[in-house]
Amino acid sequence: MEQSQDFYCEPQKKLRVLDRADVLVLGGGPGGLGAAISAARNGARTILVERTGSFGGNWTAGILGAIMPSPHVHGIFKELVTHLANRNSWYQWGDTYGGGGTYDIETAKKILDDVVTSAGIIPYFYTNFSDVIRDGSQVKGVIVESKQGREVIWADQIIDSTGDGDVSVRAGACYEQGRQGDAAMQPMTMIFIMDQVDNDSISPWWHEQPECHQAWKEAKTRGEVTVPREDVLAFQMPRKGQWSINTTRILGKDGTRIRDLTDATIEARRQVAEVVAFLKKYIRGFERAVLSETAPFIGVRETRRIHCDYTITADDILTCPKFDDCLARGSNFIDIHNPKGEGTTLVHPPKGAWYEIPYRSIRVKGIDNLLVASRCLDSTHEAHAAIRVTNQVMAIGEGAGTAAALCVKGGFSGTRELDPALLRQTLRANGAFV
């Protein structure tokens, strides 16, 4: 057996086949959910593999809490907002649909379970994607790891919704990370929840309270706060007295490296303690509040961007060209949390306009049957910073799942054989705005 200080060659092993799918979705965040739900509703035998014990990714396991405005995203995401609102679990910003809002995380977990199971999806929790089985330009299946060991899932069409593009990279796809020049990526943040806030003493709109920003600046000057962020970002949740705090900032870490993820998580919890102490000491309404939960994993805004047939650029976000293979629309602004310290760059598309996500930006280059439905689609650092929000990623997932199901129905071995006009027609018929 070949081995050294640095390497070990695994002996060959016969693996059990766990299952077989028409459409296999790896990762159950907003992108994976959109993909799996739409694939199943379009008649494909769909498997959804998720490493945690809930669907929703950053929505639920990441305890995000807030969703940016999305007037140009309809379809499955709009259904979810209706489910949340019907259960008094959606706190909407603005009067009309699309205004963004916060949601109750526990209610969201249950709604997502119900939507996934009623769509007929075959779910596997606590199951990690590990590797692909590639044959020429086709991915024939994947290897997953769980308490049962390493097993195989065969599939006709595969959708990478892992956030970091794990499946695409294992399949040999090329990718980029970070901005041009120094490859720096947006900072990580550990979201945390505070309960028992006195909502009557504080405006629901944090940015309308200059005294809070002043107190933060002064605490930083005194050295009581060392978080490298310019202000406090906090959202009132639908549950009385509950707030989601998006304020920690961990710089210079790579979310695809285990050492960085570990160090960032420890540093983030140190920052959480600092921010909690600050809020309790200086902010009216938080005096008796308690830290009720930190996210079980560090929030990673940006890692790999997988090379597909088209790269979406900042120009596409800001001048909004129309694509004949558009599978999702969005209008969230370019939102770059400074990778090097304080400051956040915000650049908006024209008011009322939408940009378009073309099908070709999710077809992984060099592979026939692999789509990306996740924040790691093909885009520049700047375009990624606009596209990445959850509702838009879910809409992209809805496009990807529909495309994969149509490929299965049409007997196509490759995603490039699908006529984009049929894709858009099917999406429209199912309520998407494309």
Q: Find the part of the chain contacting ligand FAD (CB under 6 A) among 14-22, 25-33, 73-81, 149-157.
A: 25-33
Member of 18, 22, 32, 294 binding ligand FAD (CB under 6 A): 32
Instruction: Considering only the stretches 60-68, 172-180, 202-210, 408-416, report the one whose residues sit in contact with ligand FAD under the rule CB under 6 A.
Output: 60-68
Cα–Cα distance for residue pair 294/63, rounded to 1 Å: 8
Nearer to ligand FAD, 80 or 393 (CB): 393
| Residue with the shortest CB distance to ligand FAD | 29
C-beta of 379 vs 391, nearer to ligand FAD: 391
Q: Which stretch binds ligand FAD (CB under 6 A): 16-24, 160-168, 304-312, 425-433?
A: 160-168
Shortest spacing between CB 51 and ligand FAD, in angstroms: 4
Q: Cβ closer to ligand FAD: 300 or 406?
A: 300
CB of 218 to ligand FAD, least distance (A): 25
Candidates 22, 25, 36, 57: give the one binding ligand FAD (CB under 6 A): 57
* Residue entry with tokens 């894709």: 423
H-run or E-run covering 340: none
Residues 6+ apart with CB under 8 A from 421: 324
Report H helices in 287-351.
314-319
Site string for ligand FAD, 363-392 (x = CB under 6 A): -----------xx------------xxxx-
Pairing between β-strand 175-177 and β-strand 122-124 as defined by DSSP bridges: unpaired
Burial letters 146-173, b for 16+ CB under 10 A, else e: beeebbbbebbbbbbbbbbbbbbbbbeb
Among 161, 177, 271, 369, binds ligand FAD (CB under 6 A): 161
Closest CB to ligand FAD among residues 239, 249: 249
Beta strands in 174-289 (DSSP E): 175-177, 192-195, 234-236, 243-245
Q: What sign for the dihedral angle of Cα 347, 356, 96, 101?
A: negative
Using CB under 6 A, which of 18, 25, 31, 171 touches ligand FAD? 31
CA distance 151 to 130: 10
Evaluate whether 383 touches 389 at the Cβ level (below 8 Å): no
- Site size toward ligand FAD (CB under 6 A) is 37
Helix (H) / strand (E) containing 31: helix 30-41
Among positions 223-282, residues that touch ligand FAD (CB under 6 A) are 246
Strand ranges inside 217-358, DSSP E: 234-236, 243-245, 290-294, 304-306, 326-330, 334-337, 344-347, 355-358
- In this structure, are strands 234-236 and 243-245 parallel, antiparallel, or unpaired? antiparallel
The answer to whether 92 contacts ligand FAD (rule: CB under 6 A) is: no
Radius of gyration of the chain (CA): 22
Q: How far is the CB of 153 from ligand FAD (least distance, A)?
A: 12
- State which of positions 164-193 bind ligand FAD (CB under 6 A): 166, 189, 191
Q: Are 41 and 67 within 8 A, CB to CB?
A: no
Token digits for 81?
């907002």
Question: Is position 63 an interface residue for ligand FAD (rule: CB under 6 A)?
Answer: no
Contact criterion met (CB below 8 Å) for 97 and 71: yes
405 touching ligand FAD, by CB under 6 A: no
Are the beta carbons of 401 and 39 closer than 8 angstroms? yes
CB 367: neighbour CB atoms within 10 A? Answer: 24
**Minimum distance of ligand FAD from residue 376's CB (angstroms):** 7
User: Residues 69, 101, 141, 163: which binds ligand FAD (CB under 6 A)?
Assistant: 163
Among 38, 42, 52, 177, binds ligand FAD (CB under 6 A): 52
Which is nearer to ligand FAD, 311 or 422 (by Cβ)? 311
Give the nearer residue to ligand FAD in terms of CB position, either 168 or 374: 374
Minimum Å distance from CB 354 to ligand FAD?
Answer: 16
Q: Which is nearer to ligand FAD, 360 or 388 (CB)?
A: 388
Q: Which is nearer to ligand FAD, 260 or 287 (CB)?
A: 260
**What counts of helices (H) and strands (E) characterise the chain?**
10, 20
In one letter, which amino acid is 299?
A: G
Place of tokens 């490493």: 51
Nearer to ligand FAD, 30 or 238 (CB): 30
Which residues here bind ligand FAD, judged by CB under 6 A? Answer: 26-32, 49-52, 57-58, 61, 64, 66-68, 128-129, 161-163, 166, 189, 191, 246, 299-301, 374-375, 388-391, 393
